[in-house]
Amino acid sequence: MGLKVMIKAAAVVLLALSYLVPVASANAAAVNRANEYLQKQSPAGQASLLGKAVRLNCTGKTAFFMGMGTKAGDEALAFWSVKCANGNTYAVEVAPNGTSMSMQCSAFAANNVGQCFKKLP
């Protein structure tokens, strides 16, 4: 089975995240209530939510918070890594409104974005 780079925008499935829209303010760009919600979950809960966000037959088993965006314009984006029960690994970008994008960790590294399961620089 060949590995393909898969980039897929997906809404985080859980209703709990759907209402987490940041309050408009001067520093709204730095607020990410969806990430705050994830941070409050147990490790198993984080992995489960991130696996559902990936959607590609991913039952999340391990989650790792890599950090917040460091480039201009992405400071409110949270970056996570998730390992699925089938062994696949993904980087997941979580936006303040609870939507997400995921990418295989190999593509994340190949695009010089960072390394999964390591803190962002």
Q: pLDDT tens for residues 40-77?
A: 999 999 999 999 999 888 999 999 999 998 888 888 99
- The answer to whether residue 118 sits within a structural domain is no
- The answer to whether residue 16 sits within a structural domain is no
* Token duo for residue 8: 């897929």
Confidence of residue 30 (pLDDT cuts 50, 70, 90): low
- The answer to whether residue 55 sits within a structural domain is yes
Q: pLDDT tens for residues 31-47?
A: 899 999 999 999 999 99
What is the distance between the terminal CA atoms of the chain, rounded to a whole angstrom? 33
- The answer to whether residue 23 sits within a structural domain is no
pLDDT, position 19: 35
- Supply the range of the domain harboring residue 66: 28-110
H-only helix segments in the chain = 15-18, 33-40, 43-54, 105-110
- The answer to whether residue 14 sits within a structural domain is no
- The answer to whether residue 56 sits within a structural domain is yes
- Roughly what angle, to the nearest 10 degrees, separates helices 33-40 and 43-54? 130
- The answer to whether residue 102 sits within a structural domain is yes
Number of domains in the chain: 1
pLDDT, position 42: 97
Residue 17's identity, in one-letter code, is L
- The answer to whether residue 15 sits within a structural domain is no
**Count of residues in the chain:** 121
Provide the 3-class DSSP secondary structure of residue 29.
helix
